[in-house]
Structure 1
Amino acid sequence: MRYDVATAINKGKRAYQEDAVATAFLKDHALGFAVLADGMGGHAAGDVASNIVVTEVSRGLKARLQPYALKDEDIPVILKEVATAANNSIATYVAANREVSGMGTTLIAPVLMENRLHWVSVGDSPLYVFSEGRLRQVNEDHSMAPQIDLMVRTGMLDEETARNHPDRNCLTSVLMGAPIPRMDCGKDPVALEPGDIIIASSDGLQFLSDKEIQQVVERYKEESCAELAKALMAEVQSLEDPEQDNISFAVIKVS
């Protein structure tokens, strides 16, 4: 297995950038990872939180993902530990800088080893897998959106009300130096096939619907990840939404 990898980031219509993203893949081994964080807390706070988490998680994964001794069952343990360590780093920073109390960030960190996908996530940053012509989100959404969508399915809300619900994007779990309410890190990896595409993103990409994202991926699935990333960003920007959030994502193709 080999991986083609690309990242993209844009501040959208916001005054500043609170997303951060990084990737690292070994040249001679089918092993690597992406780390993405979507900060919250305003200027000089959300960006600090996201950069702390991307830096600390990347450092921890580089140190511990050693290809010669690594087993599948080791990866979820490592992911939970590096996420917890990054959360502790936020706590340390806030303790020394009280003016940023309340800052926090989401986290999504997929790890690919051969044809298997592991991940840890906290918050609402989605992890998509495009396989056999279908795009699906594989990680949990730690926001109020799933509960609101359930109310639509049970007839308690109509779709338009649910789509514009003021609580839709309220997070139910986040890294902010306090105990982490929910962390998604399953024991069983997702099996991948050649041609499958993984997208780890901030929720800024979700100004596009899943159907619209899938259509772009379908059109560019034979192109390089750099071209696919460029096309996805162009599609978001073509919306010209005045409320467009920061956008960041990592695109990984298995070949």
Structure 2
Amino acid sequence: MPYLFGNAQHVGRREYQQDAFGFSNPFDEAFTAHAGLLAVVADGMGGLEHGEAASRAAVQGFLDAYRLKTPEESIAQALDRGVHGAQQAVLAVQRQLLLEMQCGTTLVATVWFQNQLQWVAVGDSALYLCRQGQWTRLNDLHTYGRHLDSRAAFGEITREQAQADPQREALTSYLGINELTEIDRSIRPITVVEGDWVLLSSDGLYKSLSLLEVPEALQGSIQERCDKLLSAVLSRNLHEQDNVTVVALAYDPGRVPVTVAPKVEAAAPPAPSGIADTQLASPLTVAPVPLAQAAAAPPLTLTRKRSRVPLAALLLVLVLAGGYFVFRTTCCTPPPVVAAPPKPVIVNPNPPDHSPPEPPKPNQLRPPK
């Protein structure tokens, strides 16, 4: 399984745990081949009734809707269906409990598919990308503070007034609201590189701890990083510590699953009387899934048997080799070397008998009269 994941959660100093989270099935190779690995975090709103019921319903509703994705459907379309499925699940809780006040929850969900990342978010739960120790928040937080900061940027109010407004942390969008109009989503997939990992968290993390304070401490496996982040939050011992939930994803292309054929064995003897047969079920829950359980399974190994060459095949090889040798020595013998003919003797075209006469000697010349 090339996908890595981890999680950590604590109730903080609250009476109830109103955070919930879940994953799609990372061991379903057929589904992850086109849908990747999905992670969801929801933070029930403590100011409204039954925030814990709303967060659990939202996570389960999102997972159920995303599970309907087909290979022909894009991940962005499946994420959009997931957030609306979560919204309908929260509204169903309201109708079931006959609540006079609304119940609501935030939600952030992301899908890691090979080397691409896509997400959708409603509310103030956060999604971070960690690259070489540097943190980047990917989603916008749907709080009134964003509108205050915009007004301050246009000079309508001062920055001090924007920071001091008592309604700064109020949510402007959440699941369970009558009309869900403010949804943050990735415009296009983000390409991740080797060593990247992402973190989903409820506001109990970033309101208690600045991620800039702990980049060097986050070493080890994905699960160990989640545990260290939670320990760093709790070590502050804040009096008003909220629920804390962190979920992390990463991808290791080198961890390719190995599939082996099942071993055929004789039928097992009947079970003794009094012992009932059990059936393994894998219901999708939103309870924490420790990574250590998945890593505890022994790795799959492939054993190869030494194959024996039949004797007839060996004899056939020897016969073919002998025939080839005879063919090469009889039919393909190079021609004999022929000696080169002797070089012709070059005869002097002017033999001594036909040489021109010697010129007269100088003393035989007479000057003219």
TM-score range, shorter chain: 0.7 to 0.9
Distance in 2 between residues matched to 1:131 and 1:21, nearest whole Å: 24
Task: Provide the TM-score with structure 2 as the length reference.
Answer: 0.61
1:176-215 pair list within 5 angstroms: 176=176, 178-209=178-209, 212-215=210-213
CA contact (8 A) 1:192 1:254 kept: no
Amino acid in structure 2 at the alignment position of 1:253: A
Amino acid in structure 2 at the alignment position of 1:201: S
1:49 to 33, 49, 54: 54
Distance apart, 1:2 and its partner CA: 2.5
Amino acid in structure 1 at the alignment position of 2:217: R
Task: Provide the TM-score with structure 1 as the length reference.
Answer: 0.87
Deviations 1:158-182 (A, max 9, x none): 39x72x6422210010010522030
The verdict on how the C-alpha distance between 1:207 and 1:34 changes in structure 2, with shifts beyond 3 A counting, is same
Amino acid in structure 2 at the alignment position of 1:50: S
1:226 to 195, 207, 223: 223
Higher strand fraction (1 or 2): 1
- Percent identity over paired residues: 29
1:7-156 pair list within 5 angstroms: 7-27=7-27, 28=29, 29=32, 31-41=36-46, 45-64=50-69, 66=70, 69=71, 74-99=74-99, 101-150=101-150, 156=158
Equivalent in the alignment of 2:160: 158
CA contact (8 A) 1:45 1:100 kept: no
Larger relative contact order, structure 1 or 2 (CA cutoff 8 Å, min sep 6): 1
SS of residue matched to 1:179: coil
Higher helix fraction (1 or 2): 1
Query: Where in structure 1 are there 5+ consecutive unaligned residues?
Result: none
Could you say which structure has the larger radius of gyration? 2
Distance in 2 between residues matched to 1:113 and 1:34, nearest whole Å: 12
CA contact (8 A) 1:87 1:178 kept: no
1:244 to 216, 241, 256: 241
CA contact (8 A) 1:89 1:177 kept: no
Query: Where in structure 2 are there 5+ consecutive unaligned residues?
Result: 253-369
Deviations 1:70-125 (A, max 9, x none): 56xx1121111121122112222212322363110001010111111111100010
Distance in 2 between residues matched to 1:21 and 1:142, nearest whole Å: 19
Distance in 1 between residues matched to 2:243 and 2:183, nearest whole Å: 23
Distance apart, 1:133 and its partner CA: 3.0
Deviations 1:116-148 (A, max 9, x none): 111110001010001133101001110123234
Distance apart, 1:44 and its partner CA: 6.1
CA contact (8 A) 2:48 2:101 kept: no
Distance apart, 1:218 and its partner CA: 3.5
SS of residue matched to 2:128: strand
SS of residue matched to 1:6: strand
SS of residue matched to 2:92: helix
Deviations 1:52-76 (A, max 9, x none): 0001111222232x5xx256xx112
Distance in 1 between residues matched to 2:82 and 2:94, nearest whole Å: 19
Distance apart, 1:40 and its partner CA: 1.2
SS of residue matched to 1:253: strand
